[in-house]
Structure 1
């Protein structure tokens, strides 16, 4: 397995637990980009961009490696937000993909979901966000699937492994009183109705990526391995396409058929 070097992004809602974990004094880390081909932070493996060696690693050439894997930890609520799908991202934002994502909770945490986007107008007019949002506690070890179009927010004191398409497209709807920019028009155009119960799953198996917890197993072929125990030297590991490795107490991520067959 090849260990890759993480990169760090400060956030207003970040948790200094991550600063302590990685020995970084400055700022307040919210996101650790564990593996990325995105131009904002691009992973280097043996001093080469993951975008340049994707065929060696997974057997496919990608101009931008299509998955973005993060460690996220919060001290406050993230904004209520939504992400576009592929079609909207290409036609409106001129980006290759939208942003379907999923979380694995490393700690107990909390999320908010807006099950019915038509109620957003009511929330803007009346300010009754607590009625419009469904807020739920999430237990450690839970997978939550967040398809493009689902209005959501990650709660305070939550630590998750996040896997998503390689996109940074986020439309902010409500930010709990913080004076940050919102993107209401686009958010309303891409939002979809959902039931909270549909989002809680045993493992993530979408056309974009597969994400599952492995207690102990041999893993064959290209995979990204993220340990579920937070400790010094935490990071992601890559298993190249022709390798087989023993893995324990980790989340294992594989490319889905959308990318394998494209």
Structure 2
């Protein structure tokens, strides 16, 4: 009987976006001439389709692997072997979906100010059980930008729904920017970005983004890269801007309270001569995913009750288990199936492991 009981390496899976970036993803993967373009995101172990409209492949966003000599989407492999891939407990709660999307995102310019729906809005207007809460793990920042890298996150005190809507309708970008907190970021920072909270990633930020498995976004700025102007339909997910703006949470809070709510503090969970495990995102805080960092300095044993997505960000080595061994290097993306059981990372490398939710809402 055929089974999936070994780690799967995902093939490169770049996705088109309306902003420029991606040079640091090229660098991570060891590409000979890293450069920016309109493919600034790598979707890792993804079974989520990108919403890019006409002219783009219908399967854009879906990760592929080579399994038994066949090039196949991860989604199709899950459908063939749901229990091996996802585990019985996850299947009983969520069905044949990972309930998770992980990205590498590298911005050469500021992204448009945006917000994402919560589950309630998504069920009502978008026929989906998932909204888009996300979290950002900052990996690197570019030193050659005109100003220090930053993010925009959440409304400042005193911002009103009426005032922000007026700025959106007039496309007064400085006014929209002025409504949000501007926070400088550095490698190692971790932020939670709850659904409905307005935000934008500034130029020069390279991150792992962990999120619910959708591509839903309301863009309150219509301008794109290189003078591109998006239509209201494109910016509002086809709902019209009046309806789309209802998903935004119009709550102004101080910078201190914002950081208390949304800046996460990594903590060491396990340490031994073979390395250490660091909790980066706690599911109790995020609500719909979690993440850990594996700092491997020899042999680090891992036993998890669920599948996960693994990103090798520094160094190299091997992963070992009952299946045998698989060499790893910087830039590799792994899908670790639920059936794998205990396994060991050997070598010197840094890995971020991203996990699905353990409970359905």
Say whether 1:201 aligns with 2:234: no
Say whether 1:58 aligns with 2:86: yes
TM alignment of 1:95-244, pairs within 5 A: 95-108=128-141, 109-115=149-155, 116=159, 118=161, 119-121=163-165, 123-124=167-168, 127-175=174-222, 178=227, 179-181=229-231, 182-183=235-236, 184-192=241-249, 193=251, 195-197=257-259, 198-202=261-265, 203-205=280-282, 206-216=286-296, 217-221=300-304, 222-229=307-314, 234-241=331-338, 242-244=340-342
Say whether 1:78 aligns with 2:179: no
Q: Which has the larger radius of gyration?
A: 2
Rounded Cα–Cα distance in structure 2 between residues aligned with 1:167 and 1:146:
15
> Does the Cα contact within 8 Å between 2:309 and 2:353 map onto a contact in 1?
yes
TM-score by length of 1: 0.86
Which ranges of structure 2 fall in alignment gaps of 5 or more residues?
1-6, 50-59, 142-148, 266-279, 317-328
- Two-structure CA RMSD over aligned residues (Å): 2.8
Q: Which moved more, 1:16-25 or 1:111-120?
A: 16-25
Tell me how far 1:29 sits from its aligned partner.
1.8
> Does the Cα contact within 8 Å between 1:36 and 1:43 map onto a contact in 2?
yes
Tell me how far 1:15 sits from its aligned partner.
1.8
Tell me how far 1:114 sits from its aligned partner.
3.1
Rounded Cα–Cα distance in structure 2 between residues aligned with 1:89 and 1:2:
31
TM-score by length of 2: 0.64
Rounded Cα–Cα distance in structure 1 between residues aligned with 2:111 and 2:206:
12
C-alpha change, 1:120 and 1:114, in structure 2 (3 Å) is: farther
Select 2:355's aligned residue among 254, 257, 260: 254
Rounded Cα–Cα distance in structure 2 between residues aligned with 1:94 and 1:134:
32
Which ranges of structure 1 fall in alignment gaps of 5 or more residues?
none
CA-to-aligned-CA distance 1:189-248 (integer Å, 9 cap, x gap): 111236531211023223311112232443212222112339976132122224223345
CA-to-aligned-CA distance 1:36-73 (integer Å, 9 cap, x gap): 11134222342353341342122033333311111110
Rounded Cα–Cα distance in structure 1 between residues aligned with 2:193 and 2:281:
10
TM alignment of 1:38-49, pairs within 5 A: 38-39=48-49, 40-45=60-65, 46=67, 47=72, 49=74
What SS does the aligned partner of 1:131 have? helix
